[in-house]
Amino acid sequence: MPPTPPLSGILETALHVDNIDRASHFYEGILGLQRIAGDDRFRAYSVATRNVLLLFKRGETSLPFTVPGGVIPPHGSSGQLHVAFSIAQSDLANWEAHLAANSIPTESRVTWPLGGQSIYFRDPDAHLLELATPGLWSIY
């Protein structure tokens, strides 16, 4: 059996939201993400110019979707999901202050065995977001 071909990373992460405009306001205004594509059905955001966060209006991906180059198969999610964003240790206090100034409560704070720290908070659709400093995983 031939070896498994290598992966080069995770390109996209998707969340499903109830109100696309409300979610866009949060991800653009609070997290400062730059929108790179979108319409009334979805929004795509650049994360550190190397990853893409997709926001889909809940229910809009339950059927195949035709694009100029082919068909995107149906997919979706329900409930509260989790996404972690990497940040520098030196930016942690500034992020905590920024969230507080925007009335975004920090739900939890964790110091990891390898020395990293995480803060957890929710987006408007109750997805759990994490800001994590190096020292969370052996590879980060």
**pLDDT digit string (tens) for 38-79?**
999 999 999 999 999 999 999 999 999 999 999 999 998 889
* DSSP labels, 80-111: --EEEEE--GGGHHHHHHHHHHTT----EEEE
User: CATH fold of 8-78, please?
Assistant: 2,3-Dihydroxybiphenyl 1,2-Dioxygenase; domain 1 (3.10.180)
CATH of domain 79-140: 3.10.180.10
What is the rounded distance in angstroms from the CA atom of residue 134 to the CA atom of residue 137? Answer: 8
Task: Give the DSSP letter of residue 22.
Answer: H
pLDDT at 97 over 90: yes
pTM of the predicted structure, to 2 decimals: 0.93
Fold match, 8-78 / 79-140: yes
Spell out the domain ranges in the chain.
8-78, 79-140
Question: In sequence order, what are the residues at sequence separation of 6 or more whose Cβ sits closer than 8 angstroms to the Cβ of residue 101?
Answer: none
* Contact predicate 16/58, CB 8 Å: yes
